[in-house]
Amino acid sequence: MTVGRALFQLLVFPGLLYAVPVAWLMLWMERKLTARLQGRIGPPFYQPFFDFVKLLAKRPLPRPPLQALAMSALPVLAVAGTLGALALLPVFPHSGGFTGDLVLLVALLEIPPLCAVLAGFVSRSIYGELGATREAVLSIAYSLPFLAALVALAAAANSLSLSVISQQAMWQVRLPALLALALCLPVKLRVNPFSVANAEQEIYAGATTEFEGPRLALWELAHGLEWVALTGLWAVLAFPAANAAWPLRAVVFVAISLALVLVLAAVAAATARLKLAQAARVYWLWGSALGVLAMVVAVVWP
Amino acid sequence: MEPETILESLRVTAAWEVRGDGHWVEAPDLDVRAMARLLLSVEARWVTLTVSPVPGGGFRLLYHWDLAGRLLNIATTVPEGLTQSIADIWPAADWAEREARDYYALEFAGRDELPALMLRPEDEPGLFSRTRELGHDADPADAARVDASRGRRDAGGEP
Amino acid sequence: MSPVIPVGPYHPALEEPYKIELDCDGEAVREAHITVGFNFRAIEWLAERKNYTQDLALVERVCGICSNVHTLTFSRALEQLAGVEVPARAQHIRVVVHEAERLHSHLLWAGIAAEVIGFQTLFMTCFALREKVMDLLEAVSGNRVNYAMNKPGGVTRDIVDPGMVAATAQAIRTAMEREIIPVFTTDRTVRARCAGVGVLTRDEALAWGALGPVARASGLPQDIRKAAPYEIYDRLDFEVPVRPEGDVLARIVVRALEIVESCRIIEQAVDGMPAGPIDAGDFIPVPAGEACARIEGPRGEVFYYVASDGSDVPLRVRIRTPTFQNMPTVALMVREQTLADVPLIQASIDPCYSCTDR
Amino acid sequence: MRLIDSLVRTSRRRSPWLFHLNAGSCNGCDIELVACLTPRYDVEQLGIRLEGSPRHADIIVVSGPVTRTTRAALETVYAQVPDPKVVVALGSCPASCNVFAGSPTVEGPLDRILPVDVYVPGCPPRPDAIIAGIAEAIALLAEGGHA
């Protein structure tokens, strides 16, 4: 991968220049669809953008220096990690990448939840701590199916390179793997029925309860970017057409990502929130079953 | 059980006065704990306790019970600010007793603790008794006289 | 992590300030301590210093959700003292407003319960339906909240369009039976959150003096409208739903069925409404004496005691609201439950702290 | 610079987040505020959100005559909301203590405790009036709040 290409992917597509507006678009789509399903009109499309600017322009509350530093650094790290993960997505085949970038992607995607857990503890609020604990428990629960699905794909493709994985058909493995990944999306994005870590009626905003102004703005941005990265990862894996022209690939990538947002929002609007133990059980049971199925298929049906 | 049998069992000599709003009786020497145990055994339902100050000192305690749809109002009086608690027999009476202390500084014997319910823990009990002479005044500023702690705070003496 | 987790006094799941301190073991609740009194405005104290007309406006503001039950009970206590008969038409109007208030209160509660388990869409559905009741109440009383409908001896406003009232009640009943009851009783995520959660046994309900839907969901068939009928309830045909389970789901089902019954009561009360005056005169003098009144509010029995010395200011006004009796049972319900269930369990008694604290 | 200023002003107008604090209210105002969120009034159209944490909020909406016990909470919450912020007194109670004036446990009206920017009169105010009051608060917020 040349430096120029890497920079392009990081800063333009599917990185910063694409991801930030699309993050706002996705946050809006989620709120708008929910509102429409509830018989309301919902927010205008520029809402997440203005929310972001407004929060950025608020004066931060005075805090002890070390805590202030940690509370600013954590959301920045979450944003940076997600952007890095986005840059690795092989939307264009042969656009570079390197052997083993799958491992890096998984690591980068784990940064935002990790930061959220730390944020909950750093903010020294009981609700932040509870949110962080829940976040941690859930991440243990969904990590197994999430990793199993990716490992199964890697085993079937016999490669740890994302672009190789995304180009081979192998639907017998891809199907259960995609299902397992789809199951992990609501909990990673903290939407219903798995919005346990930010359950407002139980623990306020969870880990971000104590964050205000610019620091909260960055969390909102990180959250939007997670939507782009996770639906993007799913879109890349769901369209393994090696020979398609690059404009088609880009269009399909965007289309699948946005469609997935709508599906997730619709499911969220039609469900109540499960309890921590219930949510964890879903992942241990059904998520792991799907992940293991993908792995078994990858091994016995190469 | 009929209301008449209840009075007999409690050895109350007065008879019920039956009105549109239930049965009423005055029983100055009532054993409230015996009453509580009896009404528990007949599956009556706790309604509430009304405490009123008696002019010249002491309190009138009016126990309200529901017996299969009939409202029984059993009144007794205590000369001092002390009476027997029934909260161990009827947990339902717990809050009403705590509230009576808040309002009239009435103490209930037989309770381990009688924490404030409506007042704050640091408040002196008997808010209604303490403020008896105070009229209803449309200017809330005058109400500051009621509460000693508030007077200090307004004077800038907050720690 | 600190073992004591405070819920409140300001918490997103609560409309009102109060505090439950939870001794927790991880997410499991060991013990709960309830603190109330945040809304303590000393209304009983104020009532002893205002005249009866002012008191009517005061007790209406004991609670903004069940405001009508307070003026109704207070008026009934004064009528008992004065020995005044309320005209038949006024009794019918009282029942219509009383039941419409139960409708809006139960729908409000259903919405809040949905919100507490994170089911926002169901919350919106309930509140959209509730607006129909609000329209009804506004058409009858002129207000959306604090209707100022009752006064000693009758009501303040006539129902001019009974047909509209009956039609609205029917529409609400249909929507309830078609849209909301099925979701609450069959949706899997709702069942997963509510069934078997926050159980209050029959014996506990009795010993703690639980009232209204809480008692009825624990197998106690108590309802003042049946046990000691007031106004025209002895002439109406309605059921009192009772469930034996004592869990959150049972309390949901009891209230949902009560909404349907309330619609039926409104239809009957409007149907049989006789012509005639709506009050027993402009001013009712209150003689010396004492009286009690109780009615079945949306949350259970509301009890008033009024003592008078014959002047225009009462000697003593005692207000016992249903949440005052129901609230302590929450400490029993949350034991051995998880933290996530606490907001739901406390919401399941349909608490009203402004009623409790007064 | 002027562009940024006007962007910030616009964003404040378009994204007011509320924190609601019940200071001894009877629920009447509170429930009408909740009604504003629901399908008929749907204030999310205006970017208005009800937040659970005061640190996320721009506008503090206070209902109730301010009882002794809620006063400390009121002061804490006020300090927790980052600037710029606006205080809205919802209903007659925070404006005048309403029927609770003279009570020994009421410390209101609200302007004795916090600087109040907008009064929404009514017992309770209708949802339309509440939205109009919030709109007034939004205009203040855009200019940097009262601070």
User: What does the block give as tokens for D75?
Assistant: 């002061």
Domain of residue D135 covers 2-142
A179-193, A222-236, B133-147, C178-192: which has the minimum mean pLDDT?
A: B133-147
Q: C185 in contact with D at a CB cutoff of 8 Å?
A: no
Q: Which range, A119-128, A194-203, C193-202, is most confident? A: C193-202
Mean of all residue pLDDT scores within chain C: 84
- Say how far apart CA A71 and CA A122 lie, in whole Å: 7
Q: Which residue of chain C has the CA closest to D29?
A: C64
Closest Cβ–Cβ partner in B47, B71, B94 for C328: B94
The CATH number of the domain holding residue B84 is 3.30.460.80
Q: Are A28 and A45 in contact (CB under 8 A)?
A: yes
Q: Count of alpha carbons within 13 Å of D114, Cβ hemisphere only?
A: 34
Please state the domain extents for chain A.
3-300
pLDDT higher for A208 or D103?
A: D103
DSSP C121-180: HHHHHHHHHHHHHHHHHHHHHS-SS----EETTEESS--S-HHHHHHHHHHHHHHIIIII
- Say how far apart CA B151 and CA B158 lie, in whole Å: 10
Q: D120 in contact with B at a CB cutoff of 8 Å?
A: no
Q: Which range, A98-107, B23-32, B139-148, D13-22, is most confident? A: D13-22
- Say how far apart CA C38 and CA D25 lie, in whole Å: 10
Q: Angle A230-A235-A238 (CA atoms, 0-180°, nearest 5)? A: 125
CA distances from A43 to A224, A291, D37 (A): 16, 37, 12
Residue B88 resides in a domain: yes
Residue B157 resides in a domain: no
Answer whether residue A173 shows pLDDT above 80.
no
pLDDT of D35-56, one tens digit each? 888 888 888 888 888 888 888 8
Which residue blocks in chain A are alpha helix, DSSP H?
3-11, 16-37, 47-56, 65-88, 101-109, 111-122, 126-157, 162-165, 171-188, 200-203, 213-238, 246-269, 276-282, 288-300
Residues D104, B127: C-beta atoms closer than 8 Å: yes
3-state helix, strand, coil in chain B (%, to 5): 30, 25, 45
Q: Count of alpha carbons within 13 Å of A100, Cβ hemisphere only?
A: 0
Closest Cβ–Cβ partner in C49, C307, C316 for B136: C49
Chains in touch with A (3+ beta-carbon pairs under 8 Å) read: C, D
Q: Count of alpha carbons within 13 Å of B127, Cβ hemisphere only?
A: 25
Closest Cβ–Cβ partner in D69, D104, D107 for B131: D104
- What is the predicted pLDDT for the residue at D87? 92
How large a percentage of chain A has pLDDT more than 70? 90
Q: B137 in contact with D at a CB cutoff of 8 Å?
A: yes
Among C119, D79, C66, residue whose Cα is nearest residue A270: C119
Q: Which residue of chain C has the CA closest to D77?
A: C10
Residue D119 resides in a domain: yes
- Say how far apart CA A188 and CA A208 lie, in whole Å: 15
- What is the predicted pLDDT for the residue at C73? 92
Q: Are C273 and C288 in contact (CB under 8 A)?
A: no
Q: Cα dihedral sign for A70, A71, A72, A75?
A: positive
pLDDT of C316-325, one tens digit each? 899 988 888 8
Please state the domain extents for chain C.
42-357
Closest Cβ–Cβ partner in D15, D45, D84 for A42: D45
DSSP A218-281: HHHHHHHHHHHHHHHHHHHHH---TTS-HHHHHHHHHHHHHHHHHHHHHHHHT-PPPPHHHHHH
- What is the predicted pLDDT for the residue at B142? 47
pLDDT higher for A302 or C27?
A: C27
Tell me the pLDDT band of D129, cut-offs 50, 70 and 90.
Answer: very high
Mean of all residue pLDDT scores within chain A: 80
Sequence-ordered list of residues with C-beta below 8 angstroms from that of C196, at least 6 positions apart, any chain:
C247, C249
- Say how far apart CA A105 and CA A109 lie, in whole Å: 6
Chains in touch with C (3+ beta-carbon pairs under 8 Å) read: A, B, D
Amino acid identity of C181?
I
Amino acid identity of B5?
T
C-alpha C264, offset from chain centre: 18
Size of interface B-D (CB pairs under 8 A): 30
Q: Which stretches of chain A sit within 8 Å of chain D by CB?
A: 31, 35, 38-44, 46-47, 49-54, 57-61, 200-201, 204-205, 209-213, 216
Residue of A54, A124, A211, A212 to mutate, interface with D, max D Cβ within 10 Å: A54
Give D24 to chain B, closest Cα distance, Å: 12
Amino acid identity of A280?
A
Residue B17 resides in a domain: yes
Among C40, C316, C67, D65, residue whose Cα is nearest residue C58: C67
Among D94, D85, D79, residue whose Cα is nearest residue D22: D94
User: What does the block give as tokens for C310?
Assistant: 């014959």
Among D16, D54, D86, D83, residue whose Cα is nearest residue A47: D16
Q: Count of alpha carbons within 13 Å of B53, Cβ hemisphere only?
A: 18
Q: Angle D48-C105-C188 (CA atoms, 0-180°, nearest 5)? A: 75
Residue A190 phi, psi (nearest 5)? 60, 45
A51-55, A121-125, B83-87, B131-135: which has the minimum mean pLDDT?
A: B131-135
How large a percentage of chain C has pLDDT more than 90? 6
Residue A117 phi, psi (nearest 5)? -60, -50
- What is the predicted pLDDT for the residue at B156? 35
Sequence-ordered list of residues with C-beta below 8 angstroms from that of D3, at least 6 positions apart, any chain:
none
Among B139, B140, B137, B157, residue whose Cα is nearest residue B149: B157
The CATH number of the domain holding residue D137 is 3.40.50.12280
Bridge pairing between strands C154-155 and C289-297: unpaired
* CATH (one of 3.50.50.60, 3.40.50.620, 1.10.645.10, 3.40.50.300) for C42-357: 1.10.645.10
pLDDT of C242-266, one tens digit each? 888 888 888 888 888 888 888 889 8
pLDDT of C102-144, one tens digit each? 989 988 888 888 887 778 788 888 888 888 889 888 888 888 8
- Where are any strands of DSSP class E within chain C? 4-7, 19-25, 28-35, 150-151, 154-155, 289-297, 300-308, 316-320
Residue of B17, B40, B48 to mutate, interface with C, max C Cβ within 10 Å: B48
Task: Report mean pLDDT in 10-residue bins for chain B, 159 residues.
Answer: 77 81 84 85 87 85 87 86 84 87 84 81 78 59 45 35
Residues A51, D11: C-beta atoms closer than 8 Å: yes
Q: Which residue of chain D has the CA closest to B131?
A: D104
Q: Do chains A and B touch (3 or more CB pairs under 8 A)?
A: no
Q: How many domains does chain D have?
A: 1
Residue D147 resides in a domain: no
Tell me the pLDDT band of A257, cut-offs 50, 70 and 90.
Answer: confident
- Say how far apart CA A215 and CA A71 lie, in whole Å: 7
Q: D52 in contact with A at a CB cutoff of 8 Å?
A: yes
Which residue blocks in chain B are alpha helix, DSSP H?
3-9, 32-41, 94-104, 127-130, 148-154
Q: Are C278 and C160 in contact (CB under 8 A)?
A: no
